[in-house]
Each structure stands twice: as C-alpha cells, then as structure tokens.
Copies of this chain bind each other. A is one copy, B any other.
Amino acid sequence: MAEREDHVDRVVRQWGAERPDLDVSPMEVIGRLKRLSRLVDAELKETFARHDLDFASFDVLATLRRSGPPYRLTPTGLMRSAMVTSGAISQRLDRLEARGLVTRTPSGSDGRSRDVALTEEGYALMDRALPDHLATERRVLAGLDEARTAAFIDALRVVLGTLGDDVE
C-alpha cells in the first residue's frame, strides 16, 4: 500500500481531532475522487491545448466522431452525453461552428431539431488529437497494475449505478 500521507489523509486526521464524534470515512473516497478529478482535468487540459482545444470542444467533437457515419447528432443528444444544460451546448456549438469544425442544419424529420455534423476539418482534428489524449490518459494511469485497474473500474461502476448512470 502507499506509504506517504496524501492530502485526504491529513484532512481525515484533522477531522478526527476536531470532531471525533463524527465518522468522516466517506471522505476517504469522495475527497480523493474530487481531488483526483481536478488533477486529471489539469493534465488533460494541456494535451487539449496543444490541439487548440479545450475539454468542452473535445467532448462534442469526440461524441460526434465516435457516433460513426454520418457523424451527425442533435444538440439534445450531445447535451445528454455531456451532462450539461442545453444553453451550454448551444454555446459550444456556436464556437465550433465559427471555427468550421461542425455544421448546424435544420433536421429533416423534426422542425424543432437540428442536425449537428462534423466537418472534414473537425474529423481531421479528432484524428490528430485523440491518440495524444489517450497517451495522456495512459500516462496518468501508469501507476495502476492490472488488478488495481479492474478493481477501480468495478468500484466506479458500482457507485455510478447507485446514482443512476445506466443506459436505458
């Protein structure tokens, strides 16, 4: 097991001294989860910046790319995948459209809806950025052996299930 004290160890120790009546053990998980998420964001951000991207833009382009031909989704579909509000998606698409990475056209079948499609430029950009992004993710996780990785995924899946992240 790890030898050094990390930030959350100290937090838990401090609470133990100040509020010994409370069981703060849930922080061992949630505190680290939030802290790690922030640190990972910072790592990924650098990779995205090398491709003139940020997380929001990458997320939209990647969602379109992996949806397969014809690389076309609605703003609502993108909204659900990204876990942001409809307003956020509208603004993301404004930025991507201005850069020529996606197009927005009226939907044929539903007058309320729009088709958001990846342009060739957007497709090419994802081809360049994705391997770099994956390399960064691999580097972040390099300390995990196979068993720990499996256990990590299992635990994440359980809690995601608790919070209702199942598809369908």
Taking Cβ atoms with an 8 Å cutoff, the residues of A that contact B are 1-2, 4-7, 9-11, 14-15, 17-19, 22-24, 26-30, 32-41, 43, 65-68, 81, 83, 130-131, 134, 137-138, 140-144, 148-149, 151-163, 165-168
Q: Report whether B155 and A155 are in contact in the complex, using a CB–CB cutoff of 8 Å.
A: yes
Q: Report whether B156 and A151 are in contact in the complex, using a CB–CB cutoff of 8 Å.
A: no
Q: Report whether B161 and A144 are in contact in the complex, using a CB–CB cutoff of 8 Å.
A: no
From residue A45, how far is it (CB to closest CB) to chain B in Å? 12
Complex Cα distance A166/B34, Å?
Answer: 15
Complex Cα distance A43/B164, Å?
Answer: 12
Chain B residues near A167 (CB-CB < 8 A): 4-7, 9-10
Chain B residues near A65 (CB-CB < 8 A): 18
In the complex, besides A30-B40, A30-B140, 13 extra interface pairs with C-beta distance below 8 angstroms are A6-B161, A6-B166, A14-B66, A23-B134, A24-B134, A26-B137, A29-B153, A32-B153, A33-B36, A35-B83, A39-B163, A144-B158, A144-B159
Complex Cα distance A17/B67, Å?
Answer: 9
Q: Report whether B68 and A17 are in contact in the complex, using a CB–CB cutoff of 8 Å.
A: yes
Q: Report whether A32 and B1 are in contact in the complex, using a CB–CB cutoff of 8 Å.
A: no
Instruction: Please give me the residue from chain B that is nearest to A11 by CB atom.
Output: B66
From residue A160, how far is it (CB to closest CB) to chain B in Å? 5
State which of B5, B27, B143 has its C-beta within 8 Å of the C-beta of A158: B143
